[in-house]
Structures are given as C-alpha cells and as structure tokens.
Amino acid sequence: MSAPTKIRASLTGESVEVRLLMQHEMENGRRKDAAGNLIPAWFITEFKVRHLGQVVLEGQFGTSVSKNPYLVFRFRGGSKGDMLSVTWMDNRGDSRVDEAVIS
Amino acid sequence: MKCGETVDTGRRQALKTTGSVGVLGLLSLLGLLPVSALAALDRTAFEAKTLEEALDALGALIIKESPLLTLTAPDVAENGALVPVTIESSLINIEEIAILVDKNPTMLVSHLALPKGTEGFLTTRIRMAQTSRVIALLKADGKFYRAVKEVKVSLGGC
C-alpha cells in the first residue's frame, strides 16, 4: 500500500510555501528487473492540492518525474492553522489523500 | 538501469483500470477521485513523440521568450534520475506551467494548473535520460512563454 505524502507548509510574509514529497516508485516502464523482464509502468498520473477545499495547485505527471515526486510552490491567502490536503492518483487506479496544517 | 524501447504500458494499464468513463465520472462526482481541470484525463501531450507534438497538444502554437520567466537547473547533473529544476516568473495571471525534456522518451514531464492566488514559483525533480534541453513552458494571460536550459547528464536516469 502507498505511504503518506510528506507535507510541510509554512506561512512567510503573505504567502504559504508548500513542500510535498509524494512517496511513489514512479516506474517508467522502461526498466528491466534482474531477470531481464520489463517492469511495468507504475506512476502518479495526477494530483491536487487543496487549501480549505479550494484547489491551489493541480497537475498531471508523466514517467519523467523522479521517484518520490517532490514539489515546492507558493500561494497567497493562507493562514496559520489552515488545513491543506494533497490527493494523488496513479495509473493503477490507486489514490490517497493526506492532510497537514499550515505552520 | 537499462533503457529499452518506449513501452506504452502506462496508457494501456490506465485504460484497463479506469474502465468506462461513466464509472469514473460517477466516482469523481462522489469526490472519490481527483479530477483535473487540465482537460480531465486527457494525456495526449504525454504520448507525443516529438517536441512539436507535445507543444501542440499543450496548445502552445506561438511561444515567446520573456525576461520575466527563469528556469534554474544544474549545468551538469551527476545523476539523471534526480535533476532539480526551479521555475520562477513574475508574469501576471499565470495559468499553467509545463516542464519538458526534449531527449526523454516521454518529453512532457509534468503539466500543472495554477489557480489565481498561486505564485509563479515551482521547484521539482525530474528524470533525464541523457544530455538534453530542459524547457519550462508557462502560460500567462492566454499566451505561452518559454525558458530553455541545456543540462549535461553524466549518468542517465530512466
């Protein structure tokens, strides 16, 4: 099963800086295992970050994103104590939602 | 790590797992699935075989350079599996950011939508199969801009 997304969000001045580490293998489907068989592609296809239910960043990933996708971005309008949620879905149909509070 | 041919298992798998659009639509209505505002589940740009195709699929027909858009990446990346990239822009009304690597089998790395209130700043880590140009594509106020940087890769990471 998937591991939780590590989320760190802190208010600096007027904007909230969000750091995310989604824990996922991100297999690109071109690697081979020890026996020489192709390892099937397995990667996050899309994600969404919400602040109090409102989307602040969303996107699609391909197989050129590194293992354990890492993102840093900033948005305005957040306050200390507000809840952020991060949702992702992969090409196998797995998904998960994790939450964190702005510090 | 060895790179073979491009195998489109991802797409096939996705088609298999997602099943009918009806079920998917219902799930998203129930809030069980993240649904993208980037033309829901349209992944055409990720399957592009050339840079032109990828840019076309992103709707970027006319692209300008802008001093208000910067792309920061290392001159030399020791490990192509983990290349840090930062995109910064002070353009107004930024709507989308896309990152492309023109010599990767999948050129489009990621495609993001930035709602109002989200700043023109993004750091991420990408994979590079070999020495290549990294392209940051940004859509602001309906217009496309790009910043390009050549990154030398010592050990390809695919």
* A19-33, B39-53, B82-96: segment of lowest average pLDDT: B39-53
For residue B49, which phi and psi values (nearest 5 degrees)?
A: -95, -15
Question: Cβ contacts (< 8 Å) between A87 and chain B: which residues?
Answer: 34
Contact A91 B125 (CB under 8 A): no
SS3 assignment, position A41: coil
Q: With a cut of 50, say whether residue B10 has pLDDT above it.
A: no
Position B155 scores a pLDDT of 86
CATH code for the domain defined by B42-155:
2.60.40.2470
How, if at all, do strands B63-65 and B143-155 pair? parallel
Cα B102–Cα B105–Cα B110 angle in degrees, nearest 5: 70
Strands (E), chain B: 63-65, 69-72, 76-79, 83-89, 94-101, 108-113, 118-126, 132-140, 143-155
Position A33 scores a pLDDT of 92
Q: With a cut of 60, say whether residue A69 has pLDDT above it.
A: yes
What homologous superfamily does CATH list for A6-30+38-101?
A: Immunoglobulins (2.60.40.10)
Nearest chain B alpha carbon to A69: B125
Q: With a cut of 90, say whether residue B36 has pLDDT above it.
A: no
DSSP designation for A30: -
Instruction: Delimit the domains of chain B by residue range.
Output: 1-35, 42-155
- Per-residue pLDDT band for B132 (boundaries 50, 70, 90) equals very high
Q: With a cut of 60, say whether residue B26 has pLDDT above it.
A: no
How, if at all, do strands B69-72 and B94-101 pair? unpaired
Question: Cβ contacts (< 8 Å) between A30 and chain B: which residues?
Answer: 3-7, 105, 158
* Crossing angle (nearest 10°) for helices B21-29 and B9-18: 70
Q: Is B64 on the interface with A (CB under 8 A)?
A: no
User: What is the rounded CA–CA span in Å between residue B45 and residue B53?
Assistant: 7
Q: Is B14 on the interface with A (CB under 8 A)?
A: yes
Instruction: Delimit the domains of chain A by residue range.
Output: 6-30+38-101
Q: With a cut of 60, say whether residue B18 has pLDDT above it.
A: no
Q: With a cut of 50, say whether residue B5 has pLDDT above it.
A: no
